[in-house]
Each structure stands twice: as C-alpha cells, then as structure tokens.
Structure 1
Amino acid sequence: MVSILPKFFAWYYIDTVSGLLKAWKNFLLFNMEYFSIPTLLKTFFSHWHRYYSPYGNIFDFWKNFESLVFNLMSRIIGAMLRTILIVIGIVLEIFILIAGLAILFVWIVMPGLLVGGFLFGFKLLFF
C-alpha cells in the first residue's frame, strides 16, 4: 500500500513550488512589459508623443530657433516622463521580487510551522 504522505510532499514541494516560480516569473515579465521598460530605455531621448516642430528655410532664423527650442523641450519632457515611468516600473519590479521571495519562503516553511504549532498547542494543553 502506498502512503499518501510522500505524494503530498512531492506535490507540495515540487509541483507547487515550480508553479509558484512560473507565476512569479509571469508577474515579473508582465510588469516589465506593462511599463515597457526596454522600449522606454531605447527611446529615452525621443520626442514626447512625437511632438516636434519642423525646421523652416535656412534663412528663417526665428522659425528655426523656435523649432529648436520646441524640439529640445519636447525631448526634455519625454526624458523626464520616461524617467518617472522607468523608476516606477523598477520599484514595482523590486516589490514583486521581494513579495515573491516572501511567498515562496512562507510556502516552504508552512508545513513545519503547522506541525510545530500543533505540538506547541498540545504542550500547552497537557504539560
């Protein structure tokens, strides 16, 4: 007769831990894609929402100066907002990493804590 206890521990420590790791990986990848951190890094100094002013004739100094200032401001605003989004994404990525480690640790030690809690309770009741 096969005992159910080895099957339980195999399920608990092998199957479920691998499922937790896959879910944790999916959360990390989703956050990376949701904030599109690689794309934001590639396009860090691009115009914000492609707002730019075309340059005029080479002899039209004020039009070219206005376009230069507008385009620089558009790039600066884009870099500032991309920086904020990248920082928020990285902070959430770190939070997901820490939360995943905590959940994995609690999952692994929970059977021991449960047995220890029962033994401690019996000790309090009978001794």
Structure 2
Amino acid sequence: MKKIDNALFNAIMEQAKTSPRRRMNFDLRTQAFEEGWKDSSQRMLNVLMKDSVVPIHRHTETSETVIVLRGSGEEVFYDDKGKETERILIIAGSDCCALQVPRNVYHTFVPKEDGTVIFEGKDRPYDPVATEEFLQG
C-alpha cells in the first residue's frame, strides 16, 4: 500500500524545486509497461512549481483526465493554429477540481501555486514520439 498524502506531495515537490523543468512526476502504476506488465495506461502525479512551463501539446490516441489534488492551475486550450480557444481554472476541492481533455485537442496546464499537484490519467503510457504532438510556434 502506498499512501497518497501531503507527505508524498511534499517529497515530490522537493525534487520539482531542483528540476530544470520545475516539475516532477510520480508513476502510480504498479509496474511499468516496459517491465512486461500489461498495464499500458498512464496514472501519475505531477507536482509543478508555478514557473513550470508545460509545452502546448495534444494526445493523438487518448483523452486525458486531469484532477487537481492540491493547489490550482488553468487548463488552456488552443486550435490547430495556436490560437487560444478556452481557459478553465481548476482548484483543488472546488466545484471545478478536474476536467477531461478530449483527444486531439491542443492544451497546456499553467500552475498558479508552487507545489500544485495534479493527477493525470490516460489510456496510453507517456510516449512523446508516438502519442503526442507538440504545437510548433
């Protein structure tokens, strides 16, 4: 059993503070797909500092579930030409603490607080070459 609590969030945040990307993820799968386990999903925590930049991207094979567990941020959506189309504030414990990002929709997450924790779930493991496209701009 692994407790998912503030102690875990804080430990991951300490790593995020010193990461060049200013964020750190924590894999929640019981065994990585590369190790032969049949769990080909993505279930992870992502702890972000407010100056972390998540590139604008889309998932070509799956939708994505984003749940803010601590802190807050904005999910920002774009059209295929890079024009912003919508911005949704997501706050842990609020009326809007989660959302579903549709497949093939460009988006990014902008953390509003240091130590913002999000749960990300997708039907496919993270693979930036085969399952993600980054918006060129």
TM-score band w.r.t. shorter chain = under 0.3
Which TM-score applies when normalising by structure 1? Answer: 0.20
Question: Going by fraction, where is helix more abundant, 1 or 2?
Answer: 1
Which TM-score applies when normalising by structure 2? Answer: 0.19
